[in-house]
Amino acid sequence: MADLFDKIYKDKGPLGKWAEQAEGYFVFPKLEGPISNRMKFQGKEVITWSINDYLGLANHPEVRKVDAEAAAEYGSAYPMGARMMSGHTDLHEKLQRELASFVKKEAAYLLNFGYQGMVSTVDALVSKKDVIVYDVDAHACIIDGVRLHLGQRFTYKHNDLESIEKNLQRAQKITEQTGGGILVISEGVFGMRGEQGKLKEIVALKEKYDFRLFVDDAHGFGTLGATGAGAGEEQGVQDGIDVYFATFAKSLASTGAFIAADQEIIDYLKYNLRSQMFAKSLQMQLVVGALKRLDMLRTMPELKEKLWENVNALQNGLKERGFDIGTTQSCVTPVYLKGSIPEAMALVKDLRENHGIFCSIVVYPVIPKGLILLRLIPTATHTLEDVEETLNAFSAIRERLENGTYKRLSAGVAAAMEK
């Protein structure tokens, strides 16, 4: 019989195997200082394009004041207990009502964490008789929720309507036999590529197929739509989304999440979401803080306007300089380059050490071999000077990538990786 840990000693996993070369710098980096457009990395000031603080609320003085007052009044423990037992308050209910109204749904329910809540919601919505149809590029929290499903599940090609319809037909044949239903899951904005999910087209398919639509709008909430209500509002199909999900970890710069739907669906979910039924209630200071942030989102449209001024300046500037930013339709700004993992390491080190630019790096196995994805997240706190400085830096690193500088610099790392 093998030792349970044998596989761990032999295989650290597709990302873990790079830990010796990457940890502390390329992964698990430590940004320091107040959350803003410029922070400290290893003692040096860098322009930060890796913080999901879209509206610049994380370090906003009004937000910090309310957070501090709530912490002083309630502490970090109140309320103690799960919502169903002893952790339910008027303020939790107030936040739920305001969130539901904001995203134009009958009711909403708070979740302690976005990832945990998404997994549990998927689990609660389906039974063994049902079929799940979901985008192959769905976020890990959706995939982990789907893994709990005891029935059939099918992936469709990313944003591919023909593939969606083909899999709906497969699902329909199964549910005709089982007597179950179909749940389609898409993201409002796909966080790696920045593309919006084809919600309008998916909703239109309801005329041909009987299914319910569940949308993870983590990156759309607060950034898209006339009022900031997300990708469904942006595409004019918010009514066609049956269950809407968003997190507080992006535009609201906090911790927590929520789901919104018809009242009867929310009533069912709040009695069947295991991750909420058996977990401590969302802390009061977070609830009070979310109420303040939501109010600012509603009453300060200039935050979203400034965000999009920066988004447009960055994305248009990159395109004008010939960079490939894919087909993003959101604030998420991917820059695709060609190169190996060692070259990517040398490139990012150059960006951080010599240009003062900090952005996320994505390589294989998250994306295909031979590609480097630099992911930039513009926020309302960035300036046009930040954008211009970053564009100049990207032009410089592209030249070094193309002339082989990074290949030469990374030769030692490449050789070590081949051993």
Q: Does residue 275 contact residue 246 with C-beta atoms inside 8 Å?
A: no
Full-model pTM: 0.94
Question: Percentage of the chain surpassing pLDDT 90?
Answer: 87
- Which residue(s) pair with 62 in the sheet? none
Determine contact, residues 335/321, Cβ cutoff 8 Å: no
Q: Identify the pLDDT of residue 24.
A: 87
Cis peptide before 334 (omega within 30 of 0): no
Tell me what pLDDT residue 412 has.
63
The confidence score (pLDDT) of residue 15 equals 74
Helical segments of 28-105, H only: 61-74, 90-102
pLDDT tens string 211-261: 999 999 999 999 999 999 999 999 999 999 999 999 999 999 999 999 999
Cα–Cα separations (whole angstroms), residue 104 to 108, 236, 246: 10, 12, 13
pLDDT-derived band at 417 (thresholds 50, 70, 90) equals low
What pLDDT, on the 0 to 100 scale, is given for residue 117? 94
What's the CA gap between 141 and 114, in Å, rounded?
8
* Ranges assigned E (strand) in 80-232: 107-111, 131-135, 152-156, 182-187, 212-216
Among 105, 318, 127, residue whose Cα is nearest residue 230: 105
**What integer is the mean pLDDT of 76-85?**
92
- Mean pLDDT value of segment 167-182: 97
Place of tokens 């300046």: 313
